[in-house]
A and B are shown apart, each in its own frame.
Chain A
Amino acid sequence: MTMRQTRRTARPWRRSRSWLVLLFTLVGTACNNEPGQTQPSAEAPAVAVGSGEPAPPRIVSAGGNVTEVLYALGVGSALVGADTTSTYPLETAALPKVGYLRRLSAEGVVSLRPTLFLGTDDAEPHAALDQLRGAGIRVELVDDAPGLEATYARVLAIGSIVGRRDAAEALVHDMRAAAAPVLAGVATAATRPSVLFIYARGQGSAQVAGEKTAAQIMIELAGGKNAVSGFEGFRPLTAEAVVQAEPDFYLMPALGLQSLGNVEGLLAQPGIAQTAAGRARRVIAIEDSTLLGFGPRVALALRELAARLHPELAPSLGSAPAAASELR
């Protein structure tokens, strides 16, 4: 198509005006959306923290297990915001969300006027954390390592940071007490069934957990062994690898299993239906943050998992009616 220069230049400003109009419309939209997003500092939480400390902190937490510990320590009402991985307990749904743990919005956090930002060491971008410090906010990061002792250490660290050391020690005591019968039970187990942990978020994304993963640590604590080895982290699920691994059980986070279309969907994945565990539908699903969060509910997940891997031990693993309801 030939273009006619003379005609185009005839009314340049008429055309240019149209995009200017849009430009200002955009600007107007941005302006209109700006007010009302921030929270007045009037509604400061009325929780007494520590022994006789004057001003209660306003906390933004990043990391599902950190948020959960804060609630378990009774400082949930001091929270003024959380990241999108904070989904437990249900009260977190009402908190303003400051983005995904690894993609935090610095100004978003500052706009909630927190005095303390408490996250795991996965929190990013690091530049945003520096900017928070620059804005006078206390930034504390705790180790996100999996494992029981690491979990207890994390709870105690969080307790110290928010001035609730006593409550943290009591919580750790309870957590140890809940885990003890499970650990003692699986120590007597005669077998160590092999478990293949499958992570999935929708069709075609299934991965299996190798060494040095939170999943492997949970499996071993519950008296099983990882059905695959020889690599660290996660690998894509392949039919032959599954058949070769020939696990005794499949373990999945509940939402992951749901995303595949439950057990039927899992069986439709390559190789699964060819294994004995697949044919017998030996699939264990445990709520995601309970299973992998290494937070206050870690013993519940352990008990659930151990009871499935060692049904004969189930009666001796400790009873917990509350736990069962929380897992649902």
Chain B
Amino acid sequence: MMEAGWVEAPAVAEPEPEPAQLGPQVVLRRQRRVWLVLGGLFVAMLLCAALGLGLGAMRIPLVRVLEVLLHGIGVQVGPIGLEEQGVVLSIRLPRVLLGLSVGAALGVSGALMQGLFRNPLADPTLIGVSSGAALGAKTVIVLGASGGWALSRDVALPACAFLGALVVTWLVWGLARRDGRTEVPTLLLAGIAINALAMSLQGVLALLASDAQLRTLTFWTLGSLGGATYDAVWLSLPGVLLVLLGAPFLAGSLNALLLGEGDARCLGVDVERLKRVTVLLTALAVGSAVAFSGNVGFVGLLAPHLLRMAFGPDHRLLLIGSALLGAIVLTLADLASRTLLAPQEIPLGILTAALGAPFFLWLLRRRGRRGGF
């Protein structure tokens, strides 16, 4: 097959035996397992969010945090200090919410990309969405100061990052498309070429940047949730939620795609539509997320892999599970970023990679030679 040319041994494994061959009890057990795992991850995510609200550079007893939250929704519990209220409601809460949103977006898009490319190395950077966002953001950082932008930088930066993500993805998609079909290897190669182009443009911007701008560029590349506001949360969340609602509908088709494009087509999957929707959802999710967080590496790779290693490649579990696990990883990484060196912050991307990579490698070694994608 043509798509077998670029990746050594693409997954030929069958994700789930056909339900018809199994007894109803087995099917039921698997269904239940999916719900069990997703439920467990959801609870873990809530716990992590609670931790994120409870801990920080400022020491506030958990009881006080609860009181402030209750006060925030209108329950009178006694006097609340302006300081505590400010920290919990206007610093930590939007930050935790944005972290959940960004983490979920990166996790689910990682799972979508790995499913589409049937390659364990795939992540959203492949279709240009990350470099597009970076290009948009960096253009504002470097040229926005002198260009006399009508909008303030706080608005222009996420807007341009989001637009950059969509435009570059659209470009990659358009270049890979021929006669109404999109060959996956062509998509990959077009993505690599466009990524290289975007990198060179980012290089030009880095050359033009002043010292202060250069530092801002570096920080953007490493990612942070430091600028989290409710505005950012409300702007990022709809796109991410839309993707989370849409992704489960692709699970069956992506499972079939694991067999190969031809077989998937035989099983009745509209493969072209699947590609189109997957790329669109990924661009939407990642664009909505990184516009506010900057580039945060490794979450999109880590979350789907951990789940695949633990529970197998069933996309019914993998897509939403990766979103939940991504949200967990990002919330914890952000918690570490603002507490380890407090009152300073460590850029988020440093922590997601520094904490994620060794764990990932350990899992990889422990798993030995068994399994694969």
Give me the interface of A with B, judged by CB distance under 8 Å: 1-5, 7-9, 12, 15-16, 18-20, 22-23, 26-27, 29-31, 33-35, 37-38, 81, 84, 96-100, 102-113, 122, 125-128, 130-132, 134-136, 199, 201, 207, 232-236
Instruction: Give the shortest distance, in Å, between B242 (CB) and chain A (any CB).
Output: 24
Q: A30 contacts B363, CB within 8 Å?
A: no
User: Taking the complex as formed, is B58 at the interface, i.e. its CB lies under 8 A from any CB of chain A?
Assistant: yes
For B86, what are the chain A residues with a Cβ–Cβ distance below 8 Å? 110, 131-132, 134-136
B369 / chain A contacts, CB cutoff of 8 Å? 1
Q: B357 at the A/B interface (Cβ < 8 Å)?
A: no
Closest Cβ of chain B to A232, distance in Å, is: 7
Chain B contacts with A in 220-255, Cβ cutoff 8 A: 224, 226-229, 232
Q: Which of B127-135, B175-183, B274-282, B331-339 contacts A (4 or more CB under 8 A)?
A: B331-339
Contact of A18 with B366 at beta-carbon distance under 8 Å, contacts A103-B224, A107-B92, A127-B154 already known: yes
Return B113 CB to nearest CB of chain A, in Å. 19
Minimum C-beta distance from B336 to chain A (A): 5
Query: Would you call A5 and B310 a contact (CB within 8 A)?
Result: no
B residues in contact with A234, CB < 8 Å:
208-211
Contact, CB under 8 Å: B312 / A5: yes
CA distance A30 to B53 in the complex (A): 13
Decide: A38 near B332, CB < 8 A? Known: A2-B12, A8-B312, A233-B146.
no
| Contact string against A for B residues 310-328, beta-carbon threshold 8 Å, 1 for contact and 0 otherwise | 1111000000000000001
Contact string, B59-83, partner A, CB cutoff 8 A, digits 1/0? Answer: 1000000000000000000000011
* Known interface pairs A31-B55, A98-B343; A127-B48 also in contact (CB < 8 Å): no
Are the CB atoms of A34 and B339 closer together than 8 Å?
yes
Q: Cβ of A30 and Cβ of B372 under 8 Å apart?
A: no
CB-CB under 8 A from A26, the residues of chain B are 332, 336, 355
Minimal beta-carbon separation of A279 from chain B (angstroms): 27
Q: Which 6 A-B pairs have the closest CB atoms?
A: A135-B86, A108-B343, A136-B82, A125-B227, A111-B57, A111-B58
A123 to chain B, nearest CB (A): 12
Of A5, A110, A122, the residue contacting B15 (CB under 8 A) is A5
Q: List 17 A-B contacts (CB under 8 A).
A: A2-B13, A9-B312, A22-B359, A26-B336, A30-B340, A38-B57, A100-B215, A105-B226, A105-B343, A107-B92, A108-B344, A108-B345, A113-B83, A125-B154, A127-B154, A136-B86, A234-B209
- Rounded to whole angstroms, the CA-CA distance of A122 and B216 in the bound complex is 12
B369's nearest neighbour on chain A, judged by CB, is A1
The residue of chain A having its C-beta at the shortest distance from the C-beta of B336 within the complex is: A30
User: Are the C-beta atoms of A19 and B310 separated by less than 8 Å?
Assistant: yes
Q: Which residues of B contact A35 (CB under 8 A)?
A: 59
Check A34–B227 contact: CB distance below 8 A.
Answer: no
Query: B371 contacts the other chain (Cβ, under 8 Å)?
Result: yes
Separation in Å of the A241 CB from the closest CB of chain B? 13
Is B83's CB under 8 angstroms from A108's CB? no
Residue of B nearest to A6 (CB): B17
In the complex, which residue of chain B has the Cβ closest to the Cβ of A125? Answer: B227
**Pairwise interchain contact B90-A131, C-beta atoms closer than 8 A:** yes
Do B146 and A232 have beta carbons less than 8 Å apart? yes
Residue from B91, B216, B306 within 8 A of A107 (CB atoms): B91
Contacts of B212 in A (CB 8 A): 102, 122
Determine if B338 and A108 form an interchain contact, defined as CB atoms under 8 angstroms apart.
yes
Q: Are the C-beta atoms of B310 and A106 separated by less than 8 Å?
A: no
Whether A107 touches B55, Cβ cut-off 8 Å, given contacts A15-B309, A136-B82, is: no
| B87 interface residue per 8 A CB criterion | yes
B273 within 8 A of A: no
B342 at the interface (CB under 8 A from A): yes
CA of A167 to CA of B216, assembled, Å? 35
Q: Identify the B interface with A (CB < 8 A).
A: 9, 11-17, 33, 37, 44, 48, 51, 55-59, 82-83, 85-87, 90-92, 146, 154, 207-212, 214-216, 219, 224, 226-229, 232, 306, 309-313, 328, 332, 335-336, 338-340, 342-345, 355, 359, 363, 366, 369-373
User: Which residue on A lies nearest to B228, using beta carbons?
Assistant: A127
Chain B residues contacting A102 (CB-CB under 8 Å) are 212, 215-216, 219
Chain A contacts of B90 at CB under 8 A?
130-131, 134-135
Q: Is the CB of A38 within 8 A of B59?
A: yes
Bound CA span A235–B59, Å: 46
Residue of A nearest to B366 (CB): A18
Task: Report the Cα distance A28→B86, complex, angstroms.
Answer: 26
Bound Cα distance from A4 to B12, whole angstroms = 10
CA distance A234 to B209 in the complex (A): 7
- Knowing A100-B219, A102-B216, say if A110 contacts B371 (CB, 8 Å): no
With A37-B342, A96-B343 in contact, is A15–B57 under 8 Å at CB?
no
Q: Which residues of B sit under 8 angstroms from A113, Cβ to Cβ?
A: 83
B312/A127 in contact, CB under 8 A: no
Q: Which of B14, B57, B215 has the most CB of A within 10 A?
A: B57
Known interface pairs A5-B16, A19-B363, A127-B228; A107-B57 also in contact (CB < 8 Å): yes
Give chain B residues whose Cβ lies under 8 Å from the Cβ of A8: 311-312, 370-371
Distance in angstroms from B175 CB to nearest chain A CB is 31
New contact pairs (20) apart from A3-B313, A127-B232, A236-B208, CB-CB < 8 Å? A4-B13, A5-B14, A8-B311, A34-B339, A37-B342, A38-B57, A38-B59, A105-B338, A105-B342, A105-B345, A107-B58, A107-B91, A107-B338, A108-B338, A110-B58, A122-B212, A127-B154, A127-B228, A131-B86, A234-B210
Q: Could you say which of B12, B48, B226 has the most chain A C-beta atoms within 10 Å of its C-beta?
A: B226
A97 to chain B, nearest CB (A): 5
Report the minimum CB–CB distance from B252 to chain A (whole Å): 16
Note all chain A residues with C-beta closer than 8 A to B359: 19, 22
Known: A3-B372, A107-B338, A201-B211. A34 touches B312 (CB 8 A): no
Is B83 a contact of A136 with CB atoms below 8 Å? Answer: yes
Chain A residue nearest to B86 (CB atoms) is: A135
Distance between A308 CB and nearest chain B CB, rounded to angstroms: 23
Residues of A within 8 A of B229 (CB): 127, 130-131
B338 CB → nearest A CB, Å: 6
CA–CA, A104 and B312, complex, Å? 42
Bound complex: CA A1 to CA B226 (Å): 43
Instruction: Please tell me if the beta carbons of B339 and A37 are within 8 angstroms of each other in the complex.
Output: yes
